[in-house]
Structure 1
Amino acid sequence: MPIIEIANLSKKFGSFTALHNVNLTVNQGEVVGFIGPNGAGKSTTIRILLGLLRPSSGSVRIFNKDAFTQAIPIHKKMAYVPGDVTLWPNLTGGQVIDILLQMNGPIPTQRRDELITLFQLDPTKKCQTYSKGNRQKIALIAALATEADLYIFDEPTSGLDPLMERVFQQCVKELQHHKKTILLSSHILSEVERLCDKIAIIKDGTIIETGSLQTMQHVTRALYTVDVQKPLDDLYQQAGVFDIQQDGLRYTFYVDNSAIPHVMTYLAMHHIVSITSMPLTLEDLFMAHYEKGGD
């Protein structure tokens, strides 16, 4: 069942087009990674999902409700964590967490306390004394303690150390186990790769690729390592071969999937000792899309 439905979404600020014909569906229980460089349109899309901006055209529906005109009932079933958290400076962290939780009804004290322990937060300190990482923990604890159906995380681990990043990832997996729906925007591609069922890549306000990592791996490039008896002097001239690295008689390189038959034929004509293929990481795929202009 679709939880988020974005159809032909465009957003203009004056003459500047921030989003153009964005289409994305997030189904119940999915963890979807939303990635792209700064200025690609991620934050604008999220602000529209939150009902903070009205689309210029197209539609955005959450729980089958209009994200802008029906934001209030949507927010009752949603939790959100921004990448830059601002808190009331003279309140303690614990007070802020409780204020945020009270907006959704009775405070789930047991879950709140479990998360405070997991994230190693001192809730008695005033917010003005907190580092960026500790401010981020406040927002994460408040969101994760909320019994929501949809969680939107926008750079949620910004400022966290690797140990706390791991805690966050464990919490996301727990939500996933309970069939919660998650939209995760993050620059930490290894985190997205580890957690997400589906990935949407946005560039210049347009989503250029959507699908599972496994699907994307089959339609972009492959990484090969080849050991040979004699140098492959003309490997550099083969179409569809990129980023060749040579270490003696070992070559490592990427091959566009469309060029694999040609490259295999080429390699078969040489003295190959061994050949191995490795699946691409999300970072490899991300860079391949941007190097090729998203084609």
Structure 2
Amino acid sequence: MKDLIQVNNLSKTYGKQRGIHNVTFSIAEGEVFGFLGPNGAGKTTTIRTLMGFLKPTSGQALIGGLDCWSQATQIKRMVGYLPGEFSFDPNMTGAQILSYLGHLRGGVDQQYVKQLIERLDFDPAKRFHTYSRGNKQKIGLVQAFMHKPQLLILDEPTGGLDPLNQQEFNKMITEVSTAGQTVFLSSHILPEVEHTCTRVGIIREGELVRVSEVSTLKDLKQSNILIHFTAEPELAWFNGLPGVINVQREQHGHALLITVQGEQQAVIQAAAQHQAISMTTHEPGLEEIFLRFYQKETRPDAIAI
């Protein structure tokens, strides 16, 4: 399967501020690729460069063999794009916006547009300025999907959506991938990427620090589990178990705080064997994960890519 997107040593600087630096990755046709990182990491800068909205300072980005800056017009014909915040004429209705964008595309399958509207539970009769954040996101998704593009580029696509709409979005991604379409989506939400993507690139402070299969993302998860017992527990019950990094006593010796990287099954089973009375798990946010694993002094070539 050939690559649809090729990004080679791509950099974009804003005066003294660095946007992205020497970003390199490729995405195969039909792949669902997640671009993961904290807010401000460089996700949107990368996407805007791919869309031809920003001229790279150095390096090159290609989509379908076309240069993303010099051949941006041709590229936009094959792309369905959702920006980080979708905005439009505030006085147009949702239906008018979709009709206008559909005509710009040279016409779209109206039955498919209707299906997308129904699936996302979107009311196209209201004016854009009356829509909530979630409804603006819905119309943004409909216009990105409606012409069945070869490539979908989606910047934080589930922002503002309720859980049911998020589930429907996941189904839509699975369907377009099965149909052979390629998806590039950015996110700072780890579960979203796990549910939809086959591979993920992780960016921090403008540098791509890791590209890997989604199945390996569990290596990034480090949880703290506080377990209470009726009597004083032994540290040896948990030391040496798979994934356990550290065990320490808490709260007058009747509780243990266990740090686990990856799956928690072994710890849960051991706690049950030793008659634990309560268990509380703290799973860090993505920002915390990045601060822990990718400190400023970490060199990109020190991490498997």
Structure 2 length as normaliser, TM-score?
A: 0.78
**Could you list the runs of 5+ residues in structure 1 that have no partner in the other structure?**
257-272, 275-281
Residues 1:180 and 1:224: Cα distance change in structure 2 (over 3 Å): same
196-205 or 139-148, larger mean C-alpha shift: 139-148
Please, which of 226, 237, 245 is the counterpart of residue 241 of structure 1?
245
User: Which runs of 5 or more residues in structure 2 are unaligned?
Assistant: 263-272, 275-282, 299-305
Matched, 1:176 2:177: yes
Name 2:260's counterpart in structure 1: 254
1:231 pairs with 2:237: no
Matched, 1:2 2:3: yes
How far has the Cα of 1:187 moved from its partner?
Answer: 2.5
Q: Which amino acid aligns with 1:232?
A: L
SS of the aligned residue for 1:120 comes to: coil
Task: Name the counterpart of 2:92.
Answer: 91
Partner of 2:123: helix, strand, or coil?
coil
Letter matched to residue 231 of structure 1: E
Q: Give the aligned partner of residue 161 of structure 2.
A: 160
* Identical-pair percentage: 35
- Runs of 4+ residues over 2 Å off in structure 1: 213-218, 220-227, 233-236, 240-256, 282-290, 292-295
Q: CA deviation at 1:168?
A: 1.1
Q: Which amino acid aligns with 1:184?
A: L
Which residue does 1:63 correspond to in 2? 64
> CA offset at residue 221 of structure 1?
6.9
Change (3 A) 1:57 1:114: same
Compared CA separation, residues 119 and 235, structure 1 to 2 (3 A): closer
SS across alignment from 2:105: coil
After superposition, the C-alpha distances for 1:132-176 in whole angstroms (9 at most, x for unaligned) are: 211111111111111211001101121111111111111111111
Distance change (3 Å), C-alpha of 1:245 and 1:139? farther
Contact 1:34 1:202 in 2 (8 A): yes
Q: CA deviation at 1:96?
A: 0.3
Letter in 1 for 2:209: I
User: What TM-score, normalized to structure 1?
Assistant: 0.81
Name the SS of the counterpart of 1:190 in structure 2: helix
Deviation for aligned residue 1:223: 6.9
Indicate whether 1:150 and 2:156 are aligned: no
Q: Is the 8 A contact 2:248 2:256 kept in 1?
A: no
Q: Which deviates more from structure 2 when the two are superposed, residues 20-29 or residues 83-92? A: 83-92
Report the aligned-residue RMSD. 3.2
Counterpart AA for 1:252: I
Q: Does 1:213 align with 2:219?
A: no
Give yes or no for contact 2:79–2:151 (8 Å, CA) kept in 1.
Answer: yes
Alpha-carbon offset, residue 116 of structure 1: 1.1
Following the alignment from structure 2 to structure 1, what is the Cα–Cα distance between the partners of residues 53 and 75? Answer: 13
Q: Secondary structure at the match of 1:55?
A: coil
Which residue is equivalent to 1:270?
Answer: none
Kindly tell me: are residues 255 and 244 of structure 1, through their superposed partners in 2, closer, same or farther at Cα, counting changes over 3 Å? farther
1:116 matched residue in structure 2: 117
